[in-house]
Each structure stands twice: as structure tokens, then as C-alpha cells.
Amino acid sequence: MALAPVIGSQLTAPRVAFSINGIQIAWCSGINIGLNLQHEPMMAVGSFEPIEFVPLSAGSTFSASTFSLVTENFATLGIQASMGQTPQQHLLNLLSIGNQTAVLTDTKTGRIIYTLYNVKFGGTSTGITPNTMTMLDVQFYVGRAVPFGAE
């Protein structure tokens, strides 16, 4: 795939390379990286208002609205669990996928934009519209998302 031409400051095609465990698997655009923090209120006996909010967990999500696989599919790459013959086999397949590290790289500058740790496949959806290409939307759960220069 050719690099995306730039018109003003808007990209006209995917220009971010997506790699998992050092292997480039896709080009993507329409990227969203979210940070999720979960807090619980700490209440005093007899009080209706929380004293403070205690952090319980932190995590991240990654999604891309246009995701073009370079080769193969998620299951053959070991990113998505294969179905299995029974629900128990499918659960074992899900649990056997280890922690993976993903990297988002700007193909124009070669700079790493984000490093995503403990990546787990979340799901896909496919969109087909008239006069456009077929789009593959993907979602991943991420243990930690680190922007360039933050480590």
C-alpha cells in the first residue's frame, strides 16, 4: 500500500502501521485510544456523601475504524482464539492466548506513536458501503497504552 497523500492536514488513506510482537499485520486509520479508570466511593458510617474515591483499576482500549490486514487473518496470526469443537475448547483457546505487545508507527515519519502492552483481541465488525472499500473495524483491550516519549 502506498503512503497516504496529505491534503492540508487531513490524511486520505491509512498511514499508521499496526504491529504485534514485532510483526506488522495491518494498516489502520480512525484510531481511538481510551484510558479507563475505575473508582469506588469510600463512605463514612452515617454519611450520604463519599469521603473520597478510591482507584480500583486502570486499563485502556484501542480501536481503529479502518483496519486493513497485510496478511492472513487474526485467528491464523494467533491474535484471535479459534472456535474449537465445544464451548470448553473455545474457552481454553481464549485463555491460552498470551500477553502481546502492539506498536503503532507513523509510516510517513517512521516514529512510534504508541506502544500497547498486554493486548487482547476484543472483536471486529465489517462495514460495506456503496462506492467505498470494505472496512474492518477492530477493538482491542489494552493493559497499558504508552504514547511516544512517555516511557
DSSP string, the chain: -PPPPEETTEESS--EEEEETTEEEEEEEEEEEEEEEEEEEEE-TT-SSEEEEEEEEEEEEEEEEEEEESSS-TTTTTSS----SSHHHHHHHHHH---EEEEEEETTT--EEEEEEEEEEEEEEEE--TTS--EEEEEEEESEEEETT--
3 pLDDT tier (thresholds 50, 70, 90): very low
Q: How many residues does the chain have?
A: 151
Counting Cα atoms < 13 Å in the Cβ hemisphere of 69 gives 14
Q: Report how far residue 83's alpha carbon sits from residue 89's, in angstroms, rounded to the nearest whole number.
A: 8
User: pTM (2 decimals)?
Assistant: 0.69
- Please tell me the CATH code under which domain 6-147 is placed: 2.40.30
Query: What percentage of the chain has pLDDT greater than the value 90?
Result: 4
Residue 134 has pLDDT above 60, yes or no: yes
Q: What is the pLDDT of residues 61-100, one digit of tens each?
A: 888 877 777 766 676 666 766 666 777 776 776 666 667 8
pLDDT at 131: 67
Q: What is the pLDDT of residues 28-63, one digit of tens each?
A: 888 888 888 888 999 888 888 889 999 888 888 888
Domain boundaries, the chain: 6-147
